[in-house]
Structure 1
Amino acid sequence: MRNVGAKLPTFKILLLSFQFSLSVQRIGCSLISSSSYICLFGTKRFSVSTTPSYNYWLSLHLRNGRINEARSFFDDISSPGVNLYTMMIAGYAEKGRLEDALKLFYEMPVKDLVSWNSMLKGCLKCGDLSMAWNVFDKMPQRNVISWTTIIDGLLEFGRVEVAERFFWEMPTRDVAAWNSMVHGYFSNGRVEDAVELFEKMPFRNVISWTSVIGGLDQNGRSYEALLVFQKMLASFIKPTSSTLACALTACANIRTFVIGVQIHGLIVKTGHCFDEYIAASLITFYANCKLIQNAFDIFNEDLRRNVAVWTALLTGYGLNCKHDDALRVFKGMMRMCVLPNQSSLTSALNSCCGLEAVDRGREVHSVAYKLGLENDIFVGNSLVVMYTKCGQIRDGVAVFTRMSRKNVVSWNSIIVGCAQHGFGMWALTLFAQMIRSRGDPDEITLIGLLSACSHSGLLTKGRYGELDEAEALIHTMPIKANYTVWLALLSSCSKHSNVDVGERAAKCVLELQPSCSAAYTLLSNLYASNGKWTEVSKIRKKMKDEGILKQPGSSWITVKGIRHDFLSGDRLHPSSRKIYQKLEWLRGKLKELGYVPDPKFSLHDVESEQKEEMLSTHSERLAIGFGLISTVEGSTITVMKNLRICGDCHNAIKLIAKVVGREIVIRDSSRFHHFRNGACSCGDYW
């Protein structure tokens, strides 16, 4: 290769470099390789004294994530200055390569305060607080940036007391240091300390006010946040877009529509209406206030939609139970090449969960996998919940197992999921793993474990069927039981046919919630299962006189993305004829296996033949029949039901699963049932 650089005067080399850099920017090329530099400047190692554009080229490599090319370029410079060393160290830290950063740092012939501060920040960025502390201790001199950086790191790692000590030991404190301490207090839940320090500040800027507004809101004190915002305006402090976004978020959280609209007006007056994060906050505010059309109008007005704006609308639709619209927004993001982030994926998965659409959930899972976000803790938790609530407990466990980092929400999600599916031993095993990994169980963990025991018949681990003891426990509770507690007891009485306790439980429910249709229905069913038809008639008459409507039993199944709903005895479905043919065929097969319908589960005072006919056309059986004629052989059939599955259907479906050689999953109002080979995962406890 011809050594061009050796034969050109220095000013021509500079000119060539400058012209080339302009051409690179004009054609949109992000960077050039090390060999390109050699073509331009020859094989001679570069010298700081001859080419001042090294900052530009090194920065260009680092901005584009080409850390190895940046290091190759850096090594070709004969005498790199402190600033180039500092840039390279910061680049390594940005990529998480702390060892390389430290090695280069200690190789520096001369270190200034900027390079020490950069190394300190790099250690914290890589998550190594102890190394950062070590660098801080070795610093020959420190300025306010040094102190503020280590304080930020200590606060980020929850070392609040040490951060406090460092803060008050600082020789001088500027407004940034005060702001960092205030923000750190809020981040660690020390709200009163944060407010007290804010009041002590000798001087404040707009960042100080914004930190307090946002911190109060994030700690559940949104009304106080708005009072601080009002005080800020009264102090003639001009809000930034961040301030306005925080105030809007506070309005959204407590749904203060009037104040939110006033802030919207202020946004228009101050010219912040085209800020993308303000647009996202406005969308969230209107969505939380159940004005989703207003949110959509804001979305349409924003011409430079970033991921925050798309995610705000996606989440807003989900909050308003418009899950189909939410998933259309998610697909729109992908079509417009806007890559979803963790929040986008979490909201999309929540909508899949709301629709009980596991196939669409798998599509979102695929996107998360391709983006490398499958193991993100928030996405992972949402995937676990989506799979478990859509009946796919094994997929939920698989996702949980692959998660590299887990928090208490992760453990609770999988433990509760296993409980809902009747896999009590799985739940107990996972709890043991949680304790071994030093997880911190909370009340949700314990409720999940008790639920797992009750749903799996683990009498040595929990309690089951002890209704008199349960009633006594409710009476001795330190706080007065609400109607849901008594309703749970009534539901158990219905399951165990305990009329005496059930009557007392129903009385307590109706004293607290006179129009509770579930209490009337459960008590009516309890009487019907015990043949007390006179009492059933009295309850039905009372419900009619008081205008209390019984929730009709329904079941639904999703096939090829379309939901199909069924009521008991339903003949309105387009495939009814084929469904009833399949059910009639199944009746014959079940009788061959010795199945006899249990008339006590027919809650109507009719002849035996009519009872058998009514039982055989319960809504869940119709949904199963449709699943059998609409899906491929061997695939799992998943049916959702709004009420508790009756005992006769439970017995019949165990045998149906055996006859057709498929797994049938039924989710009723209590739990999931996995029917396989003539048995159910609940072990007949539900």
Structure 2
Amino acid sequence: MSALCLVITKFKSPPSSFSYTIFRCCSTIAPTNSSHGFKCMMNATKSSSSYKHLLFQHLRNQRLDEARLVFDKIVLPDVGLYTMMVKGYARNHRLSEALKLFYEMPSKDVVSWNSMIQGCLDCGDFVMAQKLFDKMPEKNVISWTTIMNGLLQLGRIEDAEILFQEMPNKDLAAWNAMIHGYCSNGRVEAALLLFEEMPSRNVISWTSMIGGLDQNAKSNEALLLFKKMMNSDVNPTSTTLVCGLTAAANVLALHVGLQIHCYVFKLGYCFDEFISASLITLYASCRQMEAAQKVFHEIRYKNVVVWTALLTGYGLNSKHECAIDVFREMMRMSVFPNQSSFTSALNSCCGLEDLERGKEIHTAAIKLGLETDVYVGNSLVVMYSKCGHINDGTTVFKRINEKNIVSWNSVIVGCAQHGCGMWALTLFSQMLRERVDPDEITLTGLLSACNHSGMLQKARCFFKYFDKKTSIKLTIEHYACMVDVLGRCGKLEEAEELVRSIPMKAGTTIWLALLSACRMHSNLDVAERAAEQIFELDVHCSAAYVVLSNLYASARGWNEVAAVRRKMKHNGVVKQPGSSWLILRGVRHEFFSGNWSHPQSEQIYRKLDWLATKLKEEGYVPDETFALHDVETEQKEEMLSYHSERLAIAFGLLNTVEGHKITVMKNLRICGDCHNAVKLIAKIAAREIIVRDSSRFHHFKKGICSCGDYW
């Protein structure tokens, strides 16, 4: 028997093409020595196995070029090795090389075709994936499901439905893929119908449907389906439990969450980090931070998801100091924060209005290479804007690699709050050039920008354009912004007419906007009508009483002022006290008008007395109309001198180095007299003073304000 026959009889099945070819080579070299030929073949097979292992290692570590060198050394690689290499190229988005190698394959099986189609989809080339699918000599259910998933990812629901109906055979994976696709594209009702039609279901079917309902704002329905699944003897996976816990957190269903927590214990998922993170989120959302902390401390190995859940939970419960401490502890424990961690930490900095801590987190983002990430960048823009530093916010915005609608909205709204109206409009123009479609928040930002810059005609154009030419539906907030624009520009009758013509019911917010404008222009007639509407809606609205009282006081209608105050007392309404605060070295210092409780009160009042002298030298004369009390002139001047923002500014001047910016936050609108005084104080002290009141930011520098005395 020849050497070839001897070896073939050793195999229960035909040898691979590679082994067979190597053996023939060996037979040619030593035709009379069959054992020698067999040894050669075995060595070659061993070498092939080593190459395959080395190829696998290179591909797993994304060393594509080294993998190709190994691949090229293999004599006549089989279809499996070709497919491995094609997959490696596609996973690393080297699609052209994957296709070239695919076309070079001497033979292709259905696995290699499916792998190449999936590779095209992973690289975003659906057209090529469709061409390959159409060319396939033989398709299986995986082929159909793969191309259907591609259609669903592109939002081509109708095409995916047609393909699903045309599938010669549908397995459970195909049904599940269609349900998941429906849910991902907001077609949750269609997903439910398909779910009911399924000939059989597995835990993936249930999980996809539960998660889809929750993601489409149907969390209560998701919990009902979760309960139905548990009653049908289907054992949930960790992903199913996470979906259930997320739905419970979204609707604050603590009792349901507790039941799911019991399932977690029963099924042995206590140490699953993603379930633990979901439990922390559930308890934090339901204001049960002690329970959230307990879950956190029971976890032996905490990953970044668990840390971020606790960090976010503290933020949800307005425990921002604790949130920042968690972030710092993460860094100390070498748990590198992800985008969500940075977003939550920066939100807490906004809650604290603490610029220094925000900068600290910004530095950490730079070190980890996340400053230009869109989610981190957006949060940084918001943080700098809310802490009074819009220039830094716009600088961060420019560095974001791939800006989304949130990026543009954040910087437009930020510019509007700081009175940079033309910046906001310029950014909007750039946004349109980048082909980013505006949304409801964009319009709010644009109207606010026009409002704070007195651009009435532009506001009218935007309002009309978005109402008539876009699919964006105007909300009550948009109408309130437009009323505010008209009111500030003195168009009070037009503003009142707009309020009465809006298609939805006007709430207190929109009438308050009109009432505030009446205060600015001393229009008692419209003010009284607006106040009447407000009191019909909410008799306890303290802001309306205060604005109306101030209007009467400005007109010296002290009897009317007394009547408003009696009405407030009768209805149990308490005026919100005016306060101002600033953050210095991580500590919040809050001041109230005429308050002497601060440890540095004596120094603060001496500083204010010194400033009062300097102000008079600059020609400042107190505007007594803002004292709003029926008292003597001297008393009015004293009241004005000790308003809370002036106390905060004096404290800032005492406790910061020369040239340092002072940022003061205020819960009410700054009065006209303080506005005039702070302009001169900024000039006297040679400082930039930033005051954020309830309306906007004011940047005082060298005797002028960024608002141009229009706010």
Instruction: Name the structure 1 match of 2:650.
Output: 625
- The letter for the 1-side match of 2:548 is L
Instruction: Name the structure 1 match of 2:502.
Output: 477
Please give the alpha-carbon distance, in whole angstroms, between the structure 1 residues aligned to 2:661 and 2:92.
45
Instruction: Name the structure 1 match of 2:473.
Output: none
Among residues 626, 650, 659, which one is paired with 2:684 in the alignment?
659
Among residues 200, 205, 208, which one is paired with 1:203 in the alignment?
200
Deviations 1:549-592 (CA, angstroms, capped at 9, x unpaired): 11111111111222111111222222333323332332233222
Please give the alpha-carbon distance, in whole angstroms, between the structure 1 residues aligned to 2:555 and 2:453.
25
Please give the alpha-carbon distance, in whole angstroms, between the structure 1 residues aligned to 2:510 and 2:528.
14
Matches within 5 A, 1:222-241: 222-241=219-238
Percent of aligned positions that are identical? 65
Shift of 1:298: 0.7
SS at 1:461 equivalent: helix
Among residues 96, 101, 112, which one is paired with 2:98 in the alignment?
101
Where do 5+ consecutive residues of structure 2 fail to align?
Answer: 1-42, 460-485
| Change over 3 Å in CA distance of 1:399–1:160 after alignment to 2 | farther
Please give the alpha-carbon distance, in whole angstroms, between the structure 2 residues aligned to 1:601 and 1:48.
95
2:511–2:533 CA contact under 8 A, matched in 1: yes
Deviations 1:517-569 (CA, angstroms, capped at 9, x unpaired): 11111212222222222222222233234332111111111112221111112
2:374–2:402 CA contact under 8 A, matched in 1: yes
Among residues 269, 273, 276, which one is paired with 2:273 in the alignment?
276
Please give the alpha-carbon distance, in whole angstroms, between the structure 2 residues aligned to 1:87 and 1:661.
69
1:48–1:79 CA contact under 8 A, matched in 2: no
Instruction: Name the structure 1 match of 2:87.
Output: 90
Instruction: Name the structure 2 match of 1:393.
Output: 390
Among residues 363, 376, 379, which one is paired with 1:379 in the alignment?
376
TM-score, length of structure 1 as denominator length: 0.89
Deviations 1:364-392 (CA, angstroms, capped at 9, x unpaired): 22233333333333222222222211111
Instruction: Name the structure 2 match of 1:152.
Output: 149
Where do 5+ consecutive residues of structure 1 fail to align?
Answer: 1-45
Instruction: Name the structure 1 match of 2:547.
Output: 522
Please give the alpha-carbon distance, in whole angstroms, between the structure 2 residues aligned to 1:152 and 1:590.
72
Highest CA radius of gyration, 1 or 2?
A: 2
Instruction: Name the structure 2 match of 1:117.
Output: 114
- Alignment of 1:561 onto 2:558: no
Among residues 212, 217, 230, which one is paired with 2:214 in the alignment?
217
- The letter for the 2-side match of 1:392 is H
TM-score, length of structure 2 as denominator length: 0.86
Residue correspondences, number: 641
Aligned residues: CA RMSD: 2.0
Instruction: Name the structure 2 match of 1:551.
Output: 576
Instruction: Name the structure 2 match of 1:573.
Output: 598
- The letter for the 2-side match of 1:559 is L
SS at 1:185 equivalent: helix
Deviations 1:445-472 (CA, angstroms, capped at 9, x unpaired): 2222111111111133233221121112
Among residues 337, 345, 353, which one is paired with 1:340 in the alignment?
337
- The letter for the 1-side match of 2:182 is Y
Instruction: Name the structure 1 match of 2:245.
Output: 248
1:657–1:675 CA contact under 8 A, matched in 2: yes
| Change over 3 Å in CA distance of 1:287–1:650 after alignment to 2 | same
Deviates more, 1:547-556 or 1:370-379: 370-379
Instruction: Name the structure 2 match of 1:533.
Output: 558
Deviations 1:596-626 (CA, angstroms, capped at 9, x unpaired): 1100111222221221222122111111122
- The letter for the 2-side match of 1:457 is G
2:48–2:74 CA contact under 8 A, matched in 1: no
Shift of 1:60: 2.9
Deviations 1:416-445 (CA, angstroms, capped at 9, x unpaired): 111111111111112222222222222222
Please give the alpha-carbon distance, in whole angstroms, between the structure 2 residues aligned to 1:373 and 1:99.
30
Which of structure 1's runs of 4+ aligned residues deviate more than 6 A? none
Instruction: Name the structure 2 match of 1:507.
Output: 532
Instruction: Name the structure 2 match of 1:292.
Output: 289
2:539–2:571 CA contact under 8 A, matched in 1: no
Shift of 1:47: 5.8
Please give the alpha-carbon distance, in whole angstroms, between the structure 2 residues aligned to 1:629 and 1:71.
69
Shift of 1:68: 4.1
Shift of 1:72: 4.1
Please give the alpha-carbon distance, in whole angstroms, between the structure 2 residues aligned to 1:90 and 1:96.
10
Shift of 1:75: 4.2
Please give the alpha-carbon distance, in whole angstroms, between the structure 2 residues aligned to 1:551 and 1:543.
12
Please give the alpha-carbon distance, in whole angstroms, between the structure 1 residues aligned to 2:574 and 2:615.
35
| Change over 3 Å in CA distance of 1:98–1:609 after alignment to 2 | farther
Please give the alpha-carbon distance, in whole angstroms, between the structure 2 residues aligned to 1:327 and 1:511.
43
SS at 2:47 equivalent: coil
Please give the alpha-carbon distance, in whole angstroms, between the structure 2 residues aligned to 1:73 and 1:334.
41
Matches within 5 A, 1:313-324: 313-324=310-321
Instruction: Name the structure 2 match of 1:43.
Output: none
Among residues 640, 660, 663, which one is paired with 2:665 in the alignment?
640
